[in-house]
């Protein structure tokens, strides 16, 4: 580790071969993202956080990170929302499983077209405990 | 690269670091290293996200922030916010463009990019070992 340099021209070298699933959590609301990520880490997963679809794409394009699962909000600011990410993954990373979360019923059809799991999301009851919102995500079948 | 842990068990899990960095791959790499070294880590992709986190009860001991970040608040603005609202937090500022923290910026330490993983881990350990924040201004060095 001692020879690794950060902050210059670099490529991330985060991963060894993951012994557990690596989940990329994409959510622009930081407290929600933190709550979900914290919960998933507690479940034993390695979690990578991205605040936008563009950040997520950067992570997905880095082969050493080995993302197994995408859990993304449907709607996000920036050039890529959750559906755009899902389409990119379907075209470029076929092995990555996709879970889109949101509260918009219109997302159901779009998610079905992309063969993704749509996880209905409710507003978090507490924004600072970091636990309850994540538990509201249904475990996909 | 193989990861070599820096042996210092007495400081493991001692501090929680809020990493504020807008470059996704750099942030992912850094938080991964810090978690492996036993630190608690919370991550933010912008100063605005960091402030949102700091306004909650999320425990944070040290904030490591880049200077230049997108949005209306940069690392300097974040440092000033912290000194005004969370004065006991320790601040590490980092930049690839500057050789020291900007004039009048109240930070505890400055580390220039690119930095080695060993250097930043050692820096955080040294800060977490101190009982009190020792605010340095760049014009005091």
Give B-chain residues touching A58 at CB under 8 angstroms. Answer: 24-25
- B64 and B20 in contact (C-beta within 8 Å)? yes
Give A-chain residues touching B57 at CB under 8 angstroms. Answer: 128-129
The closest alpha carbon to B1, from A6, A83, A96, A59, belongs to A6
Three-state secondary-structure class, residue A47: strand
Which distant-in-sequence residues (6+ apart) come within 8 Å of A93 by Cβ?
A60, A67
* Partner residue facing A8 (CB), from B2, B32, B96: B96
- B57 and A128 in contact (C-beta within 8 Å)? yes
pLDDT one-digit tens code per residue, A45-79: 999 999 999 999 999 999 999 999 999 999 888 89
Cβ–Cβ gap B113/A4 under 8 Å: no
Residue position matching structure tokens 């999301």: A121
pLDDT one-digit tens code per residue, B16-25: 999 999 999 9
Taking 60 as the threshold, does the pLDDT of residue B141 lie above it?
no
Cβ–Cβ gap A1/B4 under 8 Å: yes
Query: Residues 35 to 54 of B: which have CB under 8 A from any A CB?
Result: 42-46, 49, 52-53
Average confidence (pLDDT) over A17-38: 88
pLDDT recorded at residue A134? 37
What's the pTM?
Answer: 0.77
Instruction: Please state, rounded to an integer, the average pLDDT across all residues of chain A.
Output: 76
Please state the φ and ψ torsions of residue A110, each to the nearest 5 degrees: -65, -40
Please state the φ and ψ torsions of residue A57, each to the nearest 5 degrees: -60, -40
Question: Above 0.85 for ipTM, yes or no?
Answer: no
pLDDT one-digit tens code per residue, B27-37: 999 999 999 99
């Amino acid at each position: 580790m001692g020879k690794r340099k950060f902050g210059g021209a670099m490529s991330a070298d985060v991963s060894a071969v993951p012994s557990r699933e690596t989940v990329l959590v994409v959510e622009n609301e930081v407290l929600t993202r933190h709550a979900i990520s914290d919960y998933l880490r507690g479940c034993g997963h390695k979690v990578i956080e991205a605040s936008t679809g563009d950040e997520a794409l950067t992570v997905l394009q880095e082969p050493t990170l080995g993302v197994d699962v995408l859990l993304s909000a449907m709607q996000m600011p920036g050039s890529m929302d959750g559906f755009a990410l899902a389409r990119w993954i379907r075209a470029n990373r076929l092995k990555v499983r996709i879970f889109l979360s949101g509260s918009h019923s219109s997302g159901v059809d779009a998610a079905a077209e992309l063969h993704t799991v749509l996880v209905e999301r409710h507003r978090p009851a507490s924004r600072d405990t970091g636990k309850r919102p994540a538990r509201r995500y249904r475990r996909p079948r | 690269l193989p990861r070599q842990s820096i042996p210092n068990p007495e400081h493991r899990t001692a501090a929680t670091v809020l990493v504020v960095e807008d470059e996704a791959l750099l942030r992912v790499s850094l938080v991964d290293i810090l978690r492996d070294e036993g630190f608690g880590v919370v991550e933010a992709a912008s100063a605005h996200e960091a402030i949102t986190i700091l306004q909650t009860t999320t425990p944070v001991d040290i904030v490591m922030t880049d200077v230049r970040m997108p949005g209306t608040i940069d690392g300097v603005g974040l440092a000033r916010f912290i000194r005004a609202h969370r004065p006991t937090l320790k601040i590490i500022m980092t930049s690839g463009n500057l050789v020291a923290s900007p004039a009048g910026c109240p930070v505890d330490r400055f580390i220039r990019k690119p930095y080695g993983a060993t250097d930043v881990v050692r820096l955080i350990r040294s800060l977490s070992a101190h009982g009190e924040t020792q605010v340095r201004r760049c014009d005091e060095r």
